[in-house]
Amino acid sequence: MATCFSSSSSWLKLQFIIVVFLFAVISSISSPVNGCFTSIFSFGDSVSDTGNLIEISNLEIGKIPHSAFPPNGRTFFHRPTGRFCDGRLVIDFLAEALGLPFLPPYYRYKNAISEKFENDFKQLLRNSLIVMGEIGGNDYSHAFKQGKSIEDVRNFVPPVVDSITSSINELIELGAVTFLVPGNFPIGCSASYLTLFQGSDKDQYDPLTGCLTWLNQFSQHHNQLLRKELEKIRNLHPDINIVYGDYYSTTMRIYNSPNKFGFKETLKACCGTGGVYNYNLSRACGYLPATQCCNDPSSYMSWDGIHYTEAVNRLIANVVFEELMNSIHSLNNLCPALTINKLRMIYPKSEM
């Protein structure tokens, strides 16, 4: 059985309200193929959405998201699935590695899930991998698009991080013991931000990557605060496994050496409607016939100007999976040695 669920919350009320949709995904089968986790719970945004926005739009919003239209899904699924990607997401690769099925949206099966949660919920959480993030990207993006200064947006970081850590603490109380907590991506390399701040002074760009350095420094600020707060939780709960997923460093290694990893285009979106970075907020990938899509998404880092291609997601997942294997001190109890060796054969140690 594989399902996923979604919830929404308003986190920041600092002069205006930012509404963040959290997509929580659970993939569950009666006995895990690889003997590690019975389920994955994934909390995040559109980076990890496997179709909730489509389901929500059918029920509540009325406006179908652009992830419901081609060319989304063209690489692996060969049809749109609600994923903001040409193929699989990081969470999909992690599920594959752990022998769990892909994660369909909760809103498609929410009644069945509600009944399942009522039985042995604490044990279910204890045997699950909780993926808490990436979270915060939408909060910061909304603020920057509203014209907020970098100083103003930095004030949002503590409450965003507090929302993440508070959720972790609540889940610990409910019985969860194993967490993967990814940090934020280098937003200064995103086509959406590069378009928003196009025409910035030359000295604001990294001469090697073309990314906006001050925005990447902002991402690092978020990640540093998040890691600091995670360490506090580790000290309070030494028996809880908390692994930080370093999305920032992983993707920056690709931006710094794209040819090494087979990428020809790092900043320009594969799917878009033209412009320097092939990105336009009002004409997103999939909405119009005018959408321009590259011939080979695997040679691009950016899929739609905001989200990464499957090729990048695969590399991130490989690194994150290795971090899980190396960091969880009780993993041998969760995953037998034979299973770990088998998983490492499937997902060999990354060269990143």
Domains, the chain, with CATH or none: 39-67+76-261+309-346 (3.40.50)
What's the confidence (pLDDT) of residue 263?
Answer: 97
- Crossing angle of the two packed helices 337-346 and 310-327, in degrees rounded to 10: 160
The pLDDT score that the predictor gives to residue 282 is 84
Residues carrying an active site annotation: 46, 304, 307
Q: What integer pLDDT is reported at residue 5 of this predicted model? A: 35
pLDDT at site 288: 66
pLDDT of residue 106: 67
- pLDDT averaged per 10 residues in sequence order, the chain, 352 residues: 32 29 43 68 91 80 82 95 96 89 71 57 88 94 96 97 96 94 98 96 97 98 98 96 96 97 97 92 78 92 98 95 76 58 58 68
pTM: 0.88
Residue 131, phi then psi, degrees to nearest 5: -105, 110
Q: Which residues pair with 16 in a beta bridge?
A: none
- pLDDT at residue 59, as a whole number: 64
**Confidence (pLDDT) at 17:** 24
Distances from the Cα of 331 to the Cαs of 104, 125, 178, 236, 282, in angstroms? 26, 15, 9, 20, 46
Q: Which residues pair with 7 in a beta bridge?
A: 22
Q: What is the pLDDT of residue 181?
A: 97
